[in-house]
Amino acid sequence: MSPVLPKAERAMEFQGHYAGPVTRLLAYALDLLIISVVFTLSAAMVSLAVELATPWKLTLSDDSVLALVLYLGFCALYFGNSWVVFARTPAMSLMGLRICRADGSALDARHGLVRLLAFPLAFLTLGAGFLGIIFGRTHQAIYDRIADTAVIYDWDAEATRLRALAHRRVAGQQHAKAPSA
């Protein structure tokens, strides 16, 4: 019978393991939500600025091709900047994920950029490029294989270890204070 581990110790157990498909999907969905909200607000502000400063009226909904191209460009900027500079997107940070090289070393700008350029292949293969995340041992999509990258769980291990030690100390003090029967 295995002992029940505190939450901090359970988190430390997964440190450095390949991220699973559900966690990656949740992070991606949250990233798309962030992108959509920021893009919509930015487009509304630009439309308002054009309308106030000029006699023209700009509505992106009238030109869906232009809106799609701008949205995809914004997505590329969001993911590219996040992956190349920080090795994670904001949603990946919230989910405790980080991109690294397949050998475990830190992600460099070149591999982050290759990952960004290969990312559309997962969609262009009608989703087959994502199957490696679900069925592969290393949970790598086609763009991860091409860029030689992997997504891993990356909670702050040192802070987690310190919290676990503090939790044990508090639990030990409470146990020492308990009256014996």
User: Is residue 163 a part of any domain in this protein?
Assistant: no
pTM more than 0.95: no
Q: Mean pLDDT of residues grouped by 10 in the chain (181 residues)?
A: 53 71 97 96 90 85 82 96 96 94 93 96 95 95 97 74 69 63 52
Residue 93: what residue type?
S
Q: What is the pLDDT of residues 108-135, one digit of tens each?
A: 999 999 999 999 999 999 999 999 999 9
Instruction: Give the per-residue pLDDT at 1.
Output: 44
Beta-strand pair 97-101/149-153: antiparallel
Domain that holds residue 100: 17-153
Instruction: Give the per-residue pLDDT at 2.
Output: 47
Instruction: Give the per-residue pLDDT at 181.
Output: 52
User: Is residue 86 a part of any domain in this protein?
Assistant: yes
Q: How many helices (H) and strands (E) does the chain have?
A: 9, 2
- Residues sharing a CB contact under 8 Å with residue 161, sequence separation 6 or more, in sequence order: 8, 12
Total domains in the chain come to 1
User: Is residue 5 a part of any domain in this protein?
Assistant: no
- Using alpha carbons, list the distances in angstroms from residue 79 to 32, 93, 134: 10, 13, 21
Instruction: Give the per-residue pLDDT at 56.
Output: 87
Nearest-angstrom CA–CA distance, 162 and 151: 25
The three-state secondary structure class of 106 is strand
User: Is residue 164 a part of any domain in this protein?
Assistant: no
Instruction: Give the per-residue pLDDT at 169.
Output: 75
Nearest-angstrom CA–CA distance, 181 and 177: 12
Report the 10 Å Cβ neighbour count for 73. 11
- Among the residues of 6-84, which ranges form H helices? 7-14, 21-53, 64-81
User: Is residue 116 a part of any domain in this protein?
Assistant: yes
User: Is residue 65 a part of any domain in this protein?
Assistant: yes
Instruction: Give the per-residue pLDDT at 64.
Output: 83
User: Is residue 28 a part of any domain in this protein?
Assistant: yes
